[in-house]
Amino acid sequence: MIVGGAQDLFTEQLVAEDLNLFVPPVALTDGPVDVKIRYRHAAAPARVHWLGDGRIHVRFAEPQRAVAPGQSCVVYRDGWVLAGGRIAPQEAFPA
């Protein structure tokens, strides 16, 4: 068993897959957004890059704690939902 420190729970990025889009993909990448990574998570400022094939790459302005595969990822702008999907395993991250 490998035990890490609290700082190991933080990450600056994620990939979300199986997206439900409520706007065209270009609207996701058109400026800053807010992203929630679970139901009770406060939305965090981020930028989104459309990867195609129903996936996005999210880069947070500040590292987020306990991002886990399978959790929800919901993208907002000005209180409106733009997209929602499932956080992918880390090996799905772009190089």
Q: How far apart are CA 68 and CA 39, in angstroms?
A: 13
Q: 66: pLDDT confidence band, cut at 50, 70 and 90?
A: confident
- The domain limits of the chain are 6-90
pLDDT at 36 over 60: yes
Q: Distance between CA atoms of 16 and 28, rounded to whole angstroms?
A: 13
Which CATH fold topology does 6-90 show? Elongation Factor Tu (Ef-tu); domain 3 (2.40.30)
Neighbours of 58 (CB within 10 A): 24
Band of residue 20 on the pLDDT scale cut at 50, 70, 90: very high
Is-contact 55 19, C-beta < 8 A? yes
pTM of the model: 0.87
